[in-house]
């Protein structure tokens, strides 16, 4: 049984309610990652904890998580150098660039990037998308009835709910729209705002799952386009499809707030 089927089926067997992020989105993306790296799902909970501490923990937890993740990647790479397998880790350690093998530092960097960039981001996108569908039952039922529309719907949801901001570094002093930036300053480019620019998109705040204009920049643009964009699209589409196939009509539970 596939990863997404197992994850969704577990939810059905367990209860009529769940925490989408904790019970579905994160386990799903972690299991995809583990499978691609040639590892079993037995370490999924531990890996989720490491990534959560790295991205959302305090200074102490972030430092400990970073060290743990680096050690995890180094040990995995060393293992695949000794015994290859049909997985992404083996591909990295056997890869060559301009006739030379990748250094340990390069292998480590790729492994860490693949882990960090591919888990929290895709899980967050699934969370946004399922939250939207929970609040819009007509779109939810439409995609359930016509799953061939999911891929196009994912494009629109990526436009509407970009989960990553683009960071750039100013190469010279510049004043832009009244804001002064100096050479070396970090600049956060709000992709979600750009993707709702009325000068670029018709009715930008309206989510139209049949929209054909997919010029959004959720994955960056130009030479800095996300290398994992197509994998992310596929994961999100598969995750939504399996959820809609196996989970009946769903909604977000209303919670009283004081």
* Residue 48: both structure tokens together: 């989720």
229 is a domain residue: yes
d(CA 195, CA 211): 13
Give the Å distances, CA to CA, from 81 to 36, 96, 101, 196: 16, 14, 12, 46
d(CA 69, CA 177): 41
Digit-coded pLDDT (tens) for 214-252: 999 999 888 888 889 999 999 999 999 999 999 989 999
196 is a domain residue: no
pLDDT band for position 5 (50/70/90)? low
- Which residues have a Cβ under 8 Å from the Cβ of 55 and sit 6 or more positions away? 116, 120
d(CA 86, CA 186): 40
* Residue 92: both structure tokens together: 């990295």
Q: Are 22 and 87 in contact (CB under 8 A)?
A: no
134 is a domain residue: yes
212 is a domain residue: no
Nearest CA to 193 out of 212, 174, 210, 218 is that of 218
What is the pTM assigned to this prediction? Answer: 0.86
- What CATH number does the domain containing 80 carry? 1.10.630.10
How many structural domains compose the chain? 1
Place of tokens 């009715």: 203
pLDDT over threshold 80, residue 14: no
Digit-coded pLDDT (tens) for 115-132: 888 888 999 999 999 999
176 is a domain residue: no
d(CA 172, CA 152): 39
pLDDT band for position 258 (50/70/90)? low
179 is a domain residue: no
Domain holding 141, by residue range, is 3-159+225-246
Query: What average pLDDT does the segment 16-24 reach?
Result: 87
144 is a domain residue: yes
pLDDT over threshold 90, residue 253: no
Digit-coded pLDDT (tens) for 170-209: 999 999 889 999 999 999 988 989 999 999 999 999 999 9
Digit-coded pLDDT (tens) for 40-91: 887 788 888 888 888 888 999 999 999 999 999 999 999 999 999 999 999 9
58 is a domain residue: yes
DSSP element (H, E) containing 174: strand 174-176
């Amino acid at each position: 049984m596939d990863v997404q089927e197992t994850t969704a089926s577990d939810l059905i067997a367990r209860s009529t309610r769940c925490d989408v992020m904790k019970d579905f989105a994160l386990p799903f993306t972690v299991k995809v990652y583990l499978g691609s790296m040639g590892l079993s799902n037995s370490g999924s909970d531990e890996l989720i904890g490491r990534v959560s501490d790295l991205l959302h923990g305090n200074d102490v937890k972030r430092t400990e998580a970073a060290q743990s993740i680096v050690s995890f990647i180094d040990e995995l790479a060393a293992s695949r150098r000794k015994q290859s397998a049909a997985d992404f880790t083996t591909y990295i350690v056997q890869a060559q660039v301009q006739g030379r093998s990748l250094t340990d530092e390069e292998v480590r960097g790729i492994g860490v990037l693949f882990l960090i960039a591919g888990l929290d981001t895709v899980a967050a996108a699934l969370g946004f998308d399922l939250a939207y569908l929970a609040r819009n039952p007509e779109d939810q039922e439409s995609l359930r009835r016509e799953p061939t529309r999911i891929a196009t719907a994912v494009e629109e949801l990526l436009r509407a709910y970009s989960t990553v901001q683009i960071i750039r570094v100013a190469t010279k002093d510049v004043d832009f729209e009244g804001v002064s930036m100096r050479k070396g300053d970090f600049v956060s480019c709000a992709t979600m705002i750009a993707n709702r620019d009325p000068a670029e998109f018709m009715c930008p705040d309206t989510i139209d799952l049949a929209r054909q204009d997919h010029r959004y920049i959720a994955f960056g643009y130009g030479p800095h386009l996300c290398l994992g964009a197509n994998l992310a699209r596929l994961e999100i589409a598969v995750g939504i499809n399996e959820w809609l196939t196996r989970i009946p009509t769903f909604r977000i539970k209303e919670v009283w707030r004081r």
